[in-house]
Structure 1
Amino acid sequence: MSERTTSASWASGIVKALELEGLDCRVMFKQLGLDFTALDDPDARFPQDSMTRLWQLAVELSGNEAIGLNMARVVRPASFHVVGYALMSSRTLAEGFERLVRYQRIIAESSDLSFRLGPEGYSLGLTVHGDHLPPTRHSAEASLACALSLCTWLSGRPIQPRRVLIQGPQPKNIEPYKVAFHSPLVFDAPHDALVFERADMEAPLPTANEAMAILHDRFAGEYLARFSESRVTHRVRQVLCRILPQGEPKRETVAQALHLSQRTLQRRLQEEGTSFQSLLDDTRRELAEQYLAQPGMTLLETAYLLGFADPSNFYRAFRRWFDATPSEYRSRLGGEPLSDARTPACTTPVP
């Protein structure tokens, strides 16, 4: 069964963050059955569940519930594998974050990123998925702190978000969060996110280099292609995103698009730890988050784009995904409640 993995580059960043707390990561790796020397191999990868156990052990040994925030103090482009250098050569932070979303799976397969412009500014949203173990909040908080620190490092000046959304409950001691983010904090948020001023994201970067950006895009694209080509899960998601607006996707249709028999498709997905129905549900949920963040998107449009013939089926699925109605969810994001009215706008899903 295929596992979600994390790059050695990102794992090395976690190790540096834990060492700031005085922890002996070499001993911790041995305790968890991990190869510490693999951190020096840029192409090595670690199972996502092993990183989850590493965070859990670190909190247990240190007593620091906010230990993930240490990542802000050690981040450099190298922490992001080849993606970091693509970010560094981008014209703006907005362009850099668009690259980060595109190549995120190189860094860690367990995280899904979104980056979009809304009424409040640019929002960098993060969803961390577990593998066999549920993800810890430390993983998401480390990523948020790391992203903000990278903004300051790349721009050469402090970047202060308008808001920081944290999915976890408010901890007893929020001082480390104030120090890490210097921004209004929203705990128990529907998702983890940094909301930035538009001007900060669109300002030119001093490290911009168009020729190097093209080169790093090629390297990152080639790596991602090699990394993804053998994973049916990734290819099924791409097909689903393309055909969902045509109605309820059939396994037979997806199998034909991939030139596989239904039985082979089912077996390959099982080997990668998922199923067609589970993948369909996950893809719809992730797309629903993207669509509801778009101002003006109606309930009927969203249901249609997700392949639901009956909007009531979409409504029920949404309650199951987020324990809220679509309107309640959008209100949490600070947008207008969803309308049932149809508008002439035409939106296609993002592959």
Structure 2
Amino acid sequence: MSERTTSSSWALGIVQALEMGGVDCRAIFPELGLNYSDLENPDARFAQDDMTRLWQRAVAISGNPAIGLNMAKVIRPASFHVVGYALMSSASLREGLARLVRYQRIIAEGADLSFTQTAKGYELVLAIHGDRLPPARQSAEASMAYALAFCRWISGRMIQPRQVLFQGSPPDDIEPFQQVFQAPLSFNSSHYALLFEPADMEAPLPTANHSLAQLHDRFAGEYLTRFSESRVTHQTRQVLCRLLPQGEPKRERVAQTLLVSQRTLQRRLQEEGTSFQQLLDDTRRELAEQYLQQPSLTLLEASYLLGFADPSNFFRAFRRWFGVTPSDYRAAHLQGIKADKASV
């Protein structure tokens, strides 16, 4: 399967946030087999799993599980690569965040974004995926903190979301989260999201420039065209994530959604080192790991969210993936959380 990657510009923002928290990333990079000087190379990419290991080491060294929130303090358009400038020149945050969703693969392939208007307001939904390693929750928290801080920075207003949703249990110390988001916080949610007031999203931006927005769109589009190694794999995974709660997605349905034939879809996936069935299995495995770490979700609900009509099929698949039953996996995870808290 094609390896997900993160842009050097986003990785540099993460490193700055970690160093602000007292972590010596110059020392950690060689330990992880990474080249610190690649952070200054705009075309360099870092493997998703390497970024996960970096988060894990940083939390262990700093003793601060909320260290990802430091991303709110390192605001600079370049962290979002060319996408940051496209967002700045947008007419409104609504238009800018739509651009962020369209081009976010440039920033990091391990994240899926959606931005929709609901009855409650505008919702920016984030999902972080790992490769061989489950993603660090700090990665999602950092992305949410940065997105909100960036919106505040370019709008010149102290935007306060209606609500901020987090997967996973509440942290022992909620104060850093309250300081950064300054909004109602909801944990053990089914997804990560920022829920915005419509007026905040639709107000004109002081940095708006239609001509520049068109120029940055062209730059971002050209970059995406060049950066096409795992394009079909990524797009297929996004479609699978959307369709799974409706039942097991069929190759024909996914191909139709991507506007290609089934044969073309299979050929392109093979060129990228995977297949439709393998990608479906990998996507389910990654999501299963995330769902079972959410105590609010029952095993039956997790089964249906993964597209299994028969829960027994989910249990068999889970044992094949992880060598244990879903119940045993969840119990071990909760026991690990308790052990971590006891050692702090």
Shorter chain as denominator, the TM-score bin is 0.7 to 0.9
**Structure 2 CA distance for partners of 1:256 and 1:31, relative to 1, 3 Å:** same
1:105 aligns with 2:85: no
TM-score (norm 1): 0.74
Residue 5 of structure 1 contacts residue 108 of structure 1 at CA under 8 Å; is this kept in 2? yes
Unpaired stretches in structure 2, ≥5 consecutive residues: 286-306, 316-344
Q: Output one character per residue of 1:150-194: Cα deviation in whole Å (capped at 9) or x when no partner.
A: 011010111000100011210111000011100110011110000
Match of 1:182 in 2: 182
Change in CA separation of 1:231 and 1:27 when aligned onto 2, cut-off 3 Å:
same
| CA root-mean-square deviation | 3.3
Q: What aligned pairs does 1:5-84 form with structure 2 within 5 A after superposition?
A: 5-84=5-84
Residues 179 and 82 (structure 1), Cα distance of their counterparts in 2 relative to 1, 3 Å cut? same
**Structure 1 match to 2:296:** none
Displacement of 1:279 in angstroms is 3.4
Aligned partner of residue 228 in structure 1, secondary structure: coil
Unaligned runs of 5+ in 1: 286-312, 322-351
Taking the TM superposition and a 5 Å limit, the aligned residue runs for 1:182-331 are: 182-228=182-228, 231-234=231-234, 236=236, 248-250=250-252, 257=261, 264=267, 267-269=270-272, 271=273, 274-280=274-280
Aligned to 1:292: none
In 2, the alpha carbon distance for the partners of 1:172 and 1:217 equals 42
SS in 1 for 2:104: helix
> Counterparts of 2:76 and 2:190 in 1: how far apart (Å)?
29
| CA 1:315–1:162: 2 relative to 1, 3 Å | farther
CA 1:251–1:177: 2 relative to 1, 3 Å:
closer
* CA distance in 1: counterparts of 2:221 and 2:30, whole angstroms: 34
Instruction: Indicate if the aligned counterparts of 2:164 and 2:194 stay in contact, CA closer than 8 A.
Output: yes
Where in structure 2 are the equivalents of 1:155-170 lying within 5 Å? 155-170=155-170
Contact 1:164 1:195 in 2 (8 A): yes
User: What CA deviation, in whole Å up to 9, does each residue of 1:58-80 have, x standing for no partner?
Assistant: 00000001000000000221100
What is the percentage of aligned positions where both structures have the same residue? 63
Query: Taking structure 1 as reference, are residues 320 and 191 closer, same or farther at Cα in structure 2, changes over 3 Å only?
Result: farther
More helix by share: 2
Whole-Å separation in 1 of the counterparts to 2:33 and 2:141:
25
1:130-145 matches, cutoff 5 A: 130-145=130-145
**TM-score, length-scaled by structure 2:** 0.75
Alpha-carbon distance in structure 2 between the residues aligned to 1:86 and 1:16: 23
**SS of equivalent to 2:59:** helix
Q: Shift of residue 238 of structure 1?
A: 8.9
1:128 is aligned to 128
Matches of 1:279 and 1:213, distance apart in 2:
35
* Residue type of the alignment partner of 1:206: P
SS at match of 1:87: helix
Name the counterpart of 1:295: none
Contact map agreement 1:240 1:249 (CA 8 A) in 2 = no
Matching residue of 2:148: 148
Q: How many residues align?
A: 288
The answer (yes or no) to whether the contact 1:164–1:194 under 8 Å persists in 2 is: yes
What one-letter code is carried by the residue in structure 2 that aligns with 1:78?
Answer: A
